[in-house]
Amino acid sequence: MEDVNEYSNMEKFTFKINTSKNQQDDGKMFIGGRSWETNKKDLTEYLSRFGEVIDCTIKTDPITGTLTVFGFVLFRDAACVDKVLELKEHKLDGKLIDPKRAKVYRQQQQQQQGGKGTMAGGRGG
């Protein structure tokens, strides 16, 4: 099995998506471990088999400007996140990807950050 935690060394960077679009947070996923060959269209097409994807972002390194090995996806229906998580392995472009429910930070963290809600990928289980 391939190591899906290659992106773990990128924790020193903070990658967040603005959640102030009035979209349901439950439909958001962190997608880690993508292949360098996998683009936004490939990721969207793969995940669309689980439901309608309304947004997909592959993050860039703020220092180098290069694409990272992870991104975020927003499903129209939050139940699609559960469908993705039911499948134990996801392979795309010959590499295992690591989808997780996105963790949305609000209220207390907004006050600490002095801004609107943001979404970050998590390494949790």
47: tokens are 């995940």
What is the CATH number assigned to the segment(s) 25-120?
3.30.70.330
Q: Please tell me which residue, 7 or 57, carries the higher pLDDT value.
A: 57
Average pLDDT over residues 72-94: 95
**What pLDDT score was predicted for residue 120?**
54
**What pLDDT score was predicted for residue 45?**
96
**Burial (0-12, 13-18, 19+ Cβ within 10 Å), 108:** exposed
Average pLDDT over residues 28-36: 93
- Sequence-separated (6 or more) residues with CB below 8 Å from residue 54: 23, 27, 74, 75, 76
Per-chain mean pLDDT for the chain:
77
Whether residue 21 is predicted with pLDDT greater than 70 in this model: the reply is: no
Could you tell me the pLDDT band of residue 119, with boundaries at 50, 70 and 90?
low
For residues 101 and 120, the answer to whether their CB atoms sit within 8 Å is: no
Q: How far is 26 from 104, CA to CA, in rounded Å?
A: 9
Average pLDDT over residues 83-107: 89
Q: pTM (2 decimals)?
A: 0.66
Q: How far is 118 from 19, CA to CA, in rounded Å?
A: 5
CA distances from 7 to 26, 32, 97 (A): 23, 7, 11
